[in-house]
Amino acid sequence: MTASTATIPVETITVEAKLLDNEAAGVTVVQSPPSSEQVRATEAVFAQERESNAALGLLGIWTSTVLLHDLALEHFWTSREDEDEEARRRKAKELLPETD
């Protein structure tokens, strides 16, 4: 049984896949169940939540800080055009005669 290979470009990553011959396409491979040592190793890897929770907390703090910075700039920062527009409105208000 010989297998042919195909290389398929996906964005910037190249994936190599082994294609099975027609005779081998319908073959089912039966794996034995994992040993108790493999199960313990898998549980140990997926049970490490402390580091992921800390990383998510830091990401949340950083995102909140960036958002707060943008909101503060939007609220407190006045551009030159805004100042000129405000000066024009005040000048126009002063030039209008008051009617009683």
Task: Return the pLDDT at 80.
Answer: 81
Highest-scoring range by mean pLDDT, 1-10, 18-27, 65-74, 82-91: 65-74
Query: Measured in Å, how far apart are the chain's first and last C-alpha atoms?
Result: 102
Query: Could you give the number of structural domains in the chain?
Result: 1
Residue 61 inside a domain? The answer is: yes
Residue 15 inside a domain? The answer is: no
Residue 59 inside a domain? The answer is: yes
Residue found under tokens 């898998």: 42
CB 51 within 8 A of CB 33: no
Closest to 17 in 3D by CA, of 4, 1, 30, 2: 4
Residue 62 inside a domain? The answer is: yes
Does residue 96 register a pLDDT over 80? no
Task: Return the pLDDT at 12.
Answer: 60
Task: Return the pLDDT at 25.
Answer: 60
Residue 26 inside a domain? The answer is: no
Per the structure block, which two tokens stand in for 35? 């040993």
C-beta neighbour count of 20 within 10 angstroms: 13
Q: What's the CA gap between 63 and 53, in Å, rounded?
A: 15
Query: What value does the mean pLDDT take over residues 60-73?
Result: 92
Residue 28 inside a domain? The answer is: no
Residue 72 belongs to what domain range?
50-100
Does residue 67 register a pLDDT over 80? yes
pLDDT band at 48 (very low <50, low <70, confident <90, very high): confident
Query: What value does the mean pLDDT take over residues 59-81?
Result: 88
CB 24 within 8 A of CB 37: no
